[in-house]
Amino acid sequence: MSGRRAAIPLAFWGLLLALTGTGLILWRGWDLVAIVLLPAAALTTFAIAAISLRAQDRGERRLPEGSASMPLLAFGITLAAVGAAVGTWAVVMGAWFALVAAVLLLAEVRA
């Protein structure tokens, strides 16, 4: 999903973040997370949705819309972060997964 088609789910996600932030303020009270972080996340998501409205589709692409390299990168980063609690082996495995995913992403971009 790219360009203008991505704006609708992004705007919906920003709306969910704004509603979550409002609910957090109502039920939990005023604290740093409710006041700063959730509204900032919602506004950033709305800004990205507005930017994607201006994006133009590049037309025909040789690459598929989906790729396994991004979930692999997310898994690698998560495993490396969990490695702080689990042990060095998880950090090394997470870094290895992230490195493989970065190489795959670079190959996809250059194709």
Cβ count near 52 (within 10 Å): 19
Rounded to two decimals, what is the model's pTM? 0.46
Please, which residues have CB within 8 angstroms of residue 49's CB and are 6 or more apart in sequence? 6, 7, 8, 10, 11, 14
pLDDT tens for 84-102 read 888 889 889 999 999 999 9
Residue 100 confidence (pLDDT): 92
DSSP 35: I
pLDDT tens for 40-91 read 888 888 888 888 777 766 666 565 667 788 888 888 888 888 888 888 898 8
pLDDT tens for 24-41 read 788 877 777 677 777 788
Query: DSSP states of 15-34 as a string?
Result: HHHHHHHHHHHHHH-S-HII
Cα 44 from chain centre:
12
Query: Would you kindly state where each structural domain of the chain is located, as residue ranges?
Result: 3-54, 69-110
